Amino acid sequence: MPRSETPLRSDLFPEISPYASGMLAVDGRHTIYWEQSGNPEGVPVVFLHGGPGAGSAPVHRRFFDPQFYRIVVFDQRGCGRSMPLGELQDNTTAALVADMEKLRTHLGIPAWLLFGGSWGSTLALAYGLTHPDRATGFILRGIFLGARPEIDWFLHGMRTIFPEAWRDFAGHLPEDERSDLLGNYYRRLIDRNPDLHRPAARAWSRYEAACSTLYPTVRAPFETDHGGFALALSRIEAHYFANGTFLPEGWPWADLGRIRHLPGTIVQGRYDIVCPPVTADALARAWPEARYIVVPDAGHSALEPGIRAALVNATESYRLSTSDTELFAPRFPWDA
């Protein structure tokens, strides 16, 4: 059952700046941006942004106590400040997991706490199930597992709650192309002609943004997209959706036993329309050792008041669960 908790903290930590940053070449094509902030000697935590394709932002450092955590934030390949922006070649879930391992090794981190929401929850689980000895725990929000019903819900099901936004989304395509929204959006998004891919990117991004919060926001994201971030987001999302998020059917249920011994917290907005609670509920039932927190007055966005409070409470709970770093110490075969 979902648990209610006495809040440890109600809002984000103050703004901070990185103490180190750089670009890491992960293969012959892709270079990823990374940064570290907080305490260089603290407990390592890695922030995994959503999308796929959304990129990171300075606010993502603020979920963590900078006196306690060594905060690693990076842009997944093709996203944000990583180069080349919006690149789809060699862009798969397995490649992102491999990039994380290269970054962990590059930074000299034995193991880290995995913090991710939406697509970030998918990537956190994909990494943790591949490298359970390099994970110290999980804080997951707005659960998305990349299954076909979840993708179909994004493309079609959200119209049951946001018919106006969906009508604009579908209406961007000619009527004879609306029977295959994903295929025809993808075709436009990968087209070299900016007169095709830019309007498609704005329409896709507006649709997702309109459905992501419980209450409407005054922002009109990606209206101009001079930096190309809407194109990167929509193009990479469509690429992953068209390829079934590069995960096998039935993932991750058979493999959860590899991580169930690790600390886990699942935070879910009751009215999350982008990633409905049914998936988080299934994960919580398959992982009963994890804390499952349903925020009653929130949608999908990590920055809605109830969601951000629950996430900060989760990072504080990890901090208070140990007086030193024993809980987060790396576990190697010879330590058994």
Query: What average pLDDT does range 317-331 have in this prediction?
Result: 59
Give the Cα separation of 32 and 104 in Å (integer): 13
Q: What pLDDT does 322 receive?
A: 59
Verify whether residue 118 is a known catalytic residue.
Answer: yes
Q: In what order do the strands lie in the sheet with 43-48?
A: 20-25, 31-38, 69-74, 43-48, 112-117, 135-141, 264-269, 291-295
pLDDT at 332 over 60: no
The tens digit of pLDDT for each residue in 284-296 reads: 999 999 999 999 9
Question: What is the predicted pLDDT for the residue at 226?
Answer: 53
Catalytic annotation present for 301: no
Residue 219 has pLDDT above 60, yes or no: no
User: Is a pLDDT exceeding 70 seen at residue 330?
Assistant: no
Q: Which of 30, 197, 239, 300 is catalytic?
A: 300
Mean pLDDT of 238-250: 97
C-alpha–C-alpha distance, residues 256 and 278, integer Å: 18
Residue 265, strand partner residues: 139, 291
Query: Residue 48 pLDDT > 70, yes or no?
Result: yes
Task: Tell which wins on pLDDT, 248 or 328.
Answer: 248
Calculate ∠ Cα 294-291-288, nearest 5°: 110
- HSE on the CB side for 67, CA within 13 Å? 6
Tokens of 95: 């490649």
When the pLDDT of each residue in the chain is averaged and rounded to a whole number, the result is 92
Q: Domains in the chain, start-ordered, CATH in brackets? A: 20-145+247-335 (3.40.50.1820), 148-245 (no CATH)
Q: Which of 65, 75, 99, 272 is catalytic?
A: 272
Angle between the N-to-C axes of helices 119-130 and 93-107, in degrees from 0 to 180, rounded to the nearest 10: 70
Q: What is the pLDDT of residue 215?
A: 86
Question: What whole-number percentage of the chain has pLDDT above 70?
Answer: 90
pLDDT band at 326 (very low <50, low <70, confident <90, very high): very low
pTM: 0.92
What pLDDT sits at residue 302? 96
Structure tokens at 253: 């249920």
Per the annotation, the verdict on 30 as an active-site residue is: no
**What count of other Cβ atoms lies within 10 Å of the Cβ of residue 11?**
11
Out of 37, 56, 82, 118, the active site residue is 118
Mean of pLDDT values over 2-21: 80
| pLDDT bucket at 325, cuts 50 / 70 / 90 | very low
Give me the percent of the chain exceeding a pLDDT of 90: 87
Q: In a 3-state reduction of DSSP, which class is residue 141?
A: strand
Q: Other C-beta atoms within 10 Å of 231: how many?
A: 23
